[in-house]
């Protein structure tokens, strides 16, 4: 964390920003696949809960 000191003696802390990853055109992300699997799992669990009740 980067800390600077102002004229009055106050400390100012700045958060370290995450590194950016640039995706090329047409490149897919594994996050999209995980999101689709998660959505499918939620829908399956909702169907099972509706069937049980």
Q: What is the pLDDT of residues 25-53, one digit of tens each?
A: 776 667 778 889 999 999 999 999 999 98
Evaluate if pTM is beyond 0.75: no
**Confidence (pLDDT) at 28:** 67
Token pair of 19 as six digits:
């590194």
Higher-scoring residue by pLDDT: 44, 22: 44
Which 3 state secondary structure label does DSSP give 53? coil
Q: ∠ at Cα 42 (27, 49), nearest 5°?
A: 165
**What is the 8-class DSSP label of residue 50?**
H
């Amino acid at each position: 964390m980067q800390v600077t000191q102002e004229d009055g003696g106050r400390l100012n802390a700045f958060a370290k920003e995450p590194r950016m990853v640039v995706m090329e055109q047409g490149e897919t992300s594994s996050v999209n696949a995980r999101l689709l699997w998660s959505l499918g799992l939620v829908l399956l669990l909702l169907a099972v809960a509706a069937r049980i009740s």
